Chain A
């Protein structure tokens, strides 16, 4: 019998190598297949028509899921971004993915219940999902309220009443739960119970138009048509309140980066002077504006205002320069740019910008006042006085204006008139140390020493850092 000759070393390794290669190819195919099926399982709602920040937010949340497919948080974040943009089928899919990976996380179970409710899912499913969420956070009143609302939509009114009552057991001052309870009791023909709950809701939030209209209906049913008519008239005057005080959903809504949502949030922050919170939304809005409608000088001006408040003067100046390039007569941009120049000590530039603004908005007392405040220190006293006079003609009851105007008149050595303006300023703001000081100086120069002394003393009392000592010593002699 012949014995096969031993294979040379290289040939001995060949089958092993081929097997390894096959294994590697197999693994690669498995991995690619697995990646493909994962990619297919992760919702992809991005379409080219969406605004760029929305596309980015969705794509980045999706990429995070693909990078960490076992992360419940990544799936949940994707769900919330979809939910915030009302992409409910995709949000539902991602919430399910998140809940499968983090079954103990309330936010995913709650989000799923809410989006299924929004999609009109069957009664059993919706109440089951809310029950599951409440199992994870039984002491979260907004979820009880939303369950009540969902049960109302499903026509399960007695259960809805129970849900509202549970919300009130957790938070007795939850106006919307009282309101829901009242409305549901009315539907169940419990008119006295409805009136009691609705009256309580009105006590807690007298501004809610929805409560007022429900009260109108309850009063009509209670046989009080006149009071019902009054309540209906009141309801028409009031705005309806729909926003549920729900921190979980509030946090989610912050993920909405559409122009409407960004603008609403930015305006809220701007009104409260929360500039660092306003800034990202203003940046997004600007980006979307450039992309969709063309550059917007008003948005650049709003962003510049936030940047000024945050101390980023260079960037603010650049935004304002661009705004004025786009719209050289844009009053808000001119005003903001002038304010920035003034703050940086460039009064000549500020005065020039204010002048341009007053040409476009001659009825703005603020612009004339600020122009006067720049011209005075620049030595243009006639210009300053003319500007202050124009401002006073438009809005005379302005303490700052009267103070500045009085000071300018004093510099022009028109002390009697200065005293008149400064007294006017003090009538509006009796504790203005600066106005007392200026008035004291003019009175002294007019030779009215006793009165001057009184105002110097008052100025010193209000602000001991003011340079009053020398004048006081002189007047007391």
Chain B
């Protein structure tokens, strides 16, 4: 039987549908402050500071790392943190004992202690990102860390103790990896692994448009193709070539997995930097076909490839189809690809209000979350430049980094695919210019709204408590667990109906940029105090109906326990 983690501070407060009842939790534990996000890092004991290892030579990996992960490592029912770090060995892809990504265990509500070595998660390679998934279906989460160099798989031995099992698992890959995602590509119950890879970087002198020495862009180097590893029951086989993924090389950064065309098979969408994005359509036979161009999700409306960094798959316009949102470079707009079913995707950025407001910034991490619990998904975007830029007022980073610091963004969903810039209300998320990269979202305190973990280059990571006003709105959090697999059913589609409104989310741990978040469907319900109906489409194709789920609670939906 799967262990059911995340009980938060009130004990086992998950309501396991069909098994046990849990407890409720008071809503609105934090009064609204001036900003909607409050930085609680220091009080919480999160002291991680990212070190890029930069020494003025503009080694490109220095501005591309900074991934983060929020996951329950033990699993003891609360979320722990992992912050990915660089090291001082560039341009070599070598291990540096001094370079240290860090693991923080949550000891008590909002109290974390650094436990990297104790957990067996010391990792001295030059880190980029993190992905979380239970690769051996043993009921606890394993951690994959991507690097400038081979990836590392830390297998969870239970109780939050990990061991580097990369060699046995066979998923090291190579080259410069960025984001990674676990998905059950073949519906065999084991999580396969998709790893985006960037470019064949080597030291090179590059200059910005004003002739200043600066970081190179991706086009200065040959791109790498992404990697696909098939899980054969706990160990992996590189099937990139056989599956078709190796046929296209395109400076991949962000990745998200979801059944985008609702054919029952999970597809893979990759945000490529300066190349057309890839939509790998899952043919259901272990192979993938790249169809982004035909389906309208490769390029912006003007047919231009943009600098894709982070990506999220979520229903942003409330039409129950899973859309795509991709973050981009300064002087480009971020892109909102509206999913129009059989008609494919349409770049609806301009009409959404998400376009020009993003042009002054370089977006990386992104989260779709319902800030006011009013039943639609808002957007939080972590920004930070990769090239020199005009200094942003308030940029106070040391050395040259102030010329790269940017403010992050917050957009409020106004319904119908329209968004309004709410950055002024972002509090600690948007207040201080930084080189934000990784962004993970999870309900750290179990109050129903999503808190954020932000990774920042050459800066401290921030744990941001969500204090957005709720106006009495209700919420529900839904995990989908397959007992036979003893893990979360990544890829499940969760559609709810509450108070006459229908909403949908897909369960994934990897989205954003180089980051991992708990695969929980967190819905705001507005005034509705109950979810009348919840329809789950499981990754194996089975559809189940769960009725009358109480609001303001977290529920675990078990495969096989719902109605037809």
Contacts and interface: CB of A to CB of B under 8 A. Distances in A.
Given A183-B303, A229-B294, A232-B294, A258 B356 contact: no
A155 B276 CA distance: 21
A279 B227 CA distance: 46
Nearest to B212: A49
B357 A259 contact: no
Contacts of B298: 213
Interface in B177-209: 205, 207-209
B358 interface: yes
B303 A211 contact: yes
A50 B355 CA distance: 31
Interface stretch (B124-132, B156-164, B341-349, B435-443): B341-349
B209 A183 contact: no
A210 B439 CA distance: 32
Contact of A153 (B209, B211, B350): B350
B440 to A, nearest CB: 27
A217 B351 contact: no
B350 A217 contact: no
B210 interface: yes
A315 interface: no
Given A157-B350, A220-B344, A210 B212 contact: no
Interface string B205-248: 10111111100000000000000000000000000000000000
A213 B295 contact: no
A179 B211 contact: no
B299 interface: yes
A148 B210 CA distance: 28
A213 B360 contact: no
Given A118-B331, A187-B301, A217 B294 contact: yes
Interface in B282-333: 291, 293-296, 298-299, 301-305, 331, 333
Contacts of A53: 211
B293 A232 contact: yes
B294 A155 contact: no
A220 B207 contact: no
Interface stretch (A85-93, A132-140, A343-351, A380-388): A85-93
A440 interface: no
A213 B356 CA distance: 24
A119 interface: yes
B390 interface: yes
B359 interface: yes
Contacts of B299: 210, 213
A120 B294 contact: no
A221 interface: yes
B58 to A, nearest CB: 11
Contacts of A118: 331, 359
Given A211-B303, A240-B305, A154 B293 contact: no
Contact of B302 (A47, A85, A87, A149): A149
A153 B355 contact: yes
Contacts of A50: 210-212
Contacts of A213: 276, 293, 298-299, 303
Interface string B532-555: 000000000000000000000000
Interface centre among B296, B302, B390 (most CB of A within 10 A): B302
A229 B281 CA distance: 13
Q: Is the interface of B mostly helix, strand, loop or mixed?
A: loop
A2 interface: no
A113 interface: no
A293 interface: yes
Interface string B257-296: 0000000000000000000100000000000000101111
B377 to A, nearest CB: 19
Contacts of A219: 294
Contacts of A45: 210
A26 to B, nearest CB: 37
Interface in B338-383: 343-344, 346-353, 355-360
Nearest to B296: A217
Given A155-B351, A221-B343, A184 B301 contact: yes
Contacts of A257: 211
Interface string B476-494: 0000000000000000000
Given A187-B347, A232-B293, A256 B209 contact: yes
A86 B51 CA distance: 29
B209 A85 contact: yes
Interface string B74-117: 00000000000000000000000000000000000000000000
Contacts of B352: 155
A53 to B, nearest CB: 7
A32 interface: no
A155 B294 CA distance: 22
Contact of A154 (B291, B304, B305, B355): B355
A258 B205 CA distance: 13
Interface string A216-228: 1101110001001
A156 interface: yes
Contact of A155 (B291, B305, B350, B360): B350
A49 B310 CA distance: 31
A170 interface: no
Interface in B494-523: none
A74 interface: no
B211 A85 contact: yes
Nearest to A209: B303
A19 B34 CA distance: 59
A259 B211 contact: yes
A236 B294 CA distance: 12
Contact of A156 (B304, B348, B350, B390): B350
Interface of B: 205, 207-213, 276, 291, 293-296, 298-299, 301-305, 331, 333, 343-344, 346-353, 355-360, 390
19 contacts: A51-B212, A53-B211, A87-B210, A88-B390, A118-B331, A119-B359, A120-B358, A154-B350, A155-B350, A157-B350, A183-B302, A210-B304, A213-B299, A217-B344, A229-B294, A232-B293, A258-B210, A258-B211, A293-B205
Given A155-B353, A256-B209, 14 more contacts: A51-B210, A85-B211, A86-B210, A88-B390, A122-B356, A155-B349, A157-B351, A179-B303, A210-B299, A213-B293, A216-B293, A221-B344, A240-B303, A258-B207
Interface of A: 45, 47, 49-51, 53-54, 85-89, 118-123, 126, 149, 152-157, 179-180, 183-184, 187, 210-211, 213-214, 216-217, 219-221, 225, 228-229, 232, 235-236, 240, 242, 256-260, 288, 292-293
Q: Which 9 A-B pairs have the closest CB atoms?
A: A120-B359, A155-B350, A51-B211, A155-B351, A210-B303, A86-B209, A54-B211, A220-B294, A232-B293
